[in-house]
Amino acid sequence: MNRGSSDCPQGPSLSVILCVHRANPWLQHAIDSVLEQSDGDFEFLIAANACSDEFWEQLQAVGRGDPRIRLIRTSIGQLAFNLNVLADMAHGQYLVRMDADDVCAPTRIATLRAHLANDPLDILGSAVCLIDGHGHQVGLMQFPESREQIVAALKRRTVFCHPAVAIRRQFLLEMRGYLGGFHSEDTDLWLRASRHGARMANLPDVLLSYRLHDSQSISSGAGYAEVSAHWLREFLSKPGWYTLQGLMIALGKAVCKRFLPRGAAYRQGPEKQERES
């Protein structure tokens, strides 16, 4: 386990942030995948949101095992709230997102740091491997790589895998953090970031294994409704063909989700329900 050393590559300081509500079968693996990075020079902030006393004691035992871990307990279960708490407490120049059931590639931190050292973006994502509850690969998700491609695709598809991104902390604070929704705080942030000219990109490298399993809620109807509301805000803020297209597509997805079977409505790729991750 690399706990940080003087031979780590030069680059921006990083804070890994993870929110968790309850124990799950994959939590220890998720935490280990962060702690066992080839580049161990980072801090690891974990927010236990609205958790039980028993689970908090379990997390404290984990936290005592590595000085890079900082544990925070909150009484509010909303993901956006807890991400903002971690962003406020973090020391790193970049916030590296992580979910409590996913797995970091061993070189994720090193790859992000090297790229951001040469190109200090506001948001940097990556491709992700899709895995099932047993850790078996079931697919691959790639995303538009340049800012121009991201903005063009934003109105019709997922442009970042939220737990796979690194976000410049000062940029997030200037954007007033996560603002929108219980189910779509990420889409809200991408829309606001795009409107404000954020420097954004995705790497083609697979830096995260994104887990799909039966106990999660995926692409909820409430989430689609929230995204429609975000696009309505964008249209009212900046009326035009682009924002009108985004609004109409979002409304169409919400209607399909409401009236079509789950599989028929679910075509854009996984969007985990992260409120209680």
Percent of the chain having pLDDT more than 70? 88
User: Sorting pLDDT into bands at 50, 70 and 90, what band is 6?
Assistant: very low
User: Sorting pLDDT into bands at 50, 70 and 90, what band is 215?
Assistant: low
Query: What is the pTM for the complete model shown?
Result: 0.90
Given this model, what pLDDT does residue 232 score?
96
Please state the rounded mean pLDDT for residues 48-60.
95
Q: Find the range with the poorest average confidence among 77-86, 152-161, 178-187.
A: 178-187
Q: pLDDT tens digits, residue range 173-208?
A: 999 999 967 789 999 999 999 999 999 999 999 999
User: Sorting pLDDT into bands at 50, 70 and 90, what band is 3?
Assistant: low
Given this model, what pLDDT does residue 270 score?
44
The structure tokens listed for 44 are 């690891």
User: Sorting pLDDT into bands at 50, 70 and 90, what band is 219?
Assistant: low
Given this model, what pLDDT does residue 25 score?
94
Please state the rounded mean pLDDT for residues 154-167.
97
Q: pLDDT tens digits, residue range 110-149?
A: 999 999 999 999 999 999 999 999 999 999 999 999 999 9
Alpha carbon distance 185, 47 (integer Å): 17
Please state the rounded mean pLDDT for residues 88-115.
98
Q: Which residues pair with 47 in a beta bridge?
A: 19, 72
**Averaged pLDDT of the chain:** 90
User: Sorting pLDDT into bands at 50, 70 and 90, what band is 4?
Assistant: low
pLDDT greater at residue 33 or residue 224: 33
Do 208 and 195 contact (CB within 8 A), yes or no?
A: no
Is pLDDT of 268 > 70? no
User: Sorting pLDDT into bands at 50, 70 and 90, what band is 10?
Assistant: confident
Please state the rounded mean pLDDT for residues 69-83.
95
Given this model, what pLDDT does residue 220 score?
66
User: Sorting pLDDT into bands at 50, 70 and 90, what band is 265?
Assistant: very low
Tell me the C-alpha to C-alpha distance, in Å, between residue 186 and each of 1, 44, 205.
31, 21, 21
Given this model, what pLDDT does residue 65 score?
82
